[in-house]
């Protein structure tokens, strides 16, 4: 695999993961805290490229959702949900939440709905026909033989094969799939920030 392919397999590029995270941060973290979150999010693509669940690759929806829940559990057992450790954990789970929209066909299946719904991370609510791209070096592998490859399906950037496709009709007419994936990822990230903020309220009340 060429370096270029490896790069394109990483999910929204660093700048996109960072942009999505910053747009959804709702101003609840300091600059230093945001840097911790963004760096930790980014490192998921460096250290865990072969772990399907971290990026919702290889149709690992169940494992990916369980991973996000597990990281939330780790944050909720911290004394301080804004500790460095908790924020690093938070950055890790944001990466997975964000990759769902660029690595699965959720956006394609919902392209005639505006806004694109946010997945509640419950596998029972996934629509029939949901797939994510196959990623050769990632394990485990849960896709059927008909599933598209990561390269074919990813909407990691506006130049990707799928990301540049334009919705032909309906309320999202004229929008590239990349933009829809990015917008959904921002709103999904905002929900995660709200959850973090709520832990703080609970602990202080
Ligand atoms: Zn990723």
Please indicate, yes or no, whether the overall pTM of this predicted structure exceeds 0.75: yes
Burial class (CB in 10 A: 0-12, 13-18, 19+), 87: buried
**For the chain, how many structural domains are there in total?**
1
At a CB cut-off of 8 Å and minimum separation 6, what does 33 contact? Answer: 82, 87
Between the CA of 202 and the centroid of ligand 1 the distance, in Å, is: 31
Q: What is the pLDDT of residue 1?
A: 28
Between the CA of 97 and the centroid of ligand 1 the distance, in Å, is: 10
pLDDT in tens, 163-191: 999 999 999 999 999 999 999 999 999 99
d(CA 3, CA 9): 10
Of 9-18, 92-101, 193-202, the range with the lowest mean pLDDT is 9-18
Between the CA of 122 and the centroid of ligand 1 the distance, in Å, is: 20
pLDDT in tens, 31-75: 999 999 999 999 999 999 999 999 999 999 999 999 999 999 999
Between the CA of 10 and the centroid of ligand 1 the distance, in Å, is: 5
Between the CA of 177 and the centroid of ligand 1 the distance, in Å, is: 18
* Tokens coding 9: 């397999």
At a CB cut-off of 8 Å and minimum separation 6, what does 65 contact? Answer: 121, 122, 123
Range of the domain at 184: 3-204
Between the CA of 98 and the centroid of ligand 1 the distance, in Å, is: 8
Between the CA of 203 and the centroid of ligand 1 the distance, in Å, is: 31
d(CA 167, CA 5): 26
């Amino acid at each position: 695999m060429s370096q270029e392919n490896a790069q394109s397999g990483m999910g929204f590029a660093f700048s996109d993961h960072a942009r999505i995270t910053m747009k959804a941060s709702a101003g609840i973290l300091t600059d230093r805290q945001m840097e911790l979150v963004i760096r930790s999010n980014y490192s998921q693509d460096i250290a865990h490229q072969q772990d399907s669940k971290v990026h919702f690759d290889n149709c690992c929806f169940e494992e990916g959702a369980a991973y996000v829940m597990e990281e939330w559990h780790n944050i909720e057992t911290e004394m301080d949900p804004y500790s460095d450790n908790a924020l690093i954990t938070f950055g890790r789970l944001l990466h997975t939440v964000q990759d769902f929209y660029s690595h699965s066909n959720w956006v394609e299946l919902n392209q005639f709905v505006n806004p694109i719904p946010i997945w509640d991370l419950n596998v029972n609510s996934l629509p029939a026909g949901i797939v994510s791209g196959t990623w050769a070096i990632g394990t485990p592998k849960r896709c059927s033989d008909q599933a598209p490859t990561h390269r074919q399906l990813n909407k990691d950037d506006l130049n990707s094969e799928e990301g540049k496709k334009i919705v032909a009709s309906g309320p999202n007419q004229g929008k590239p799939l990349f933009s829809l994936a990015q917008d959904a990822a921002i709103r999904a990230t905002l929900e995660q920030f709200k959850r973090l903020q709520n832990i703080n309220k609970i602990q202080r009340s």
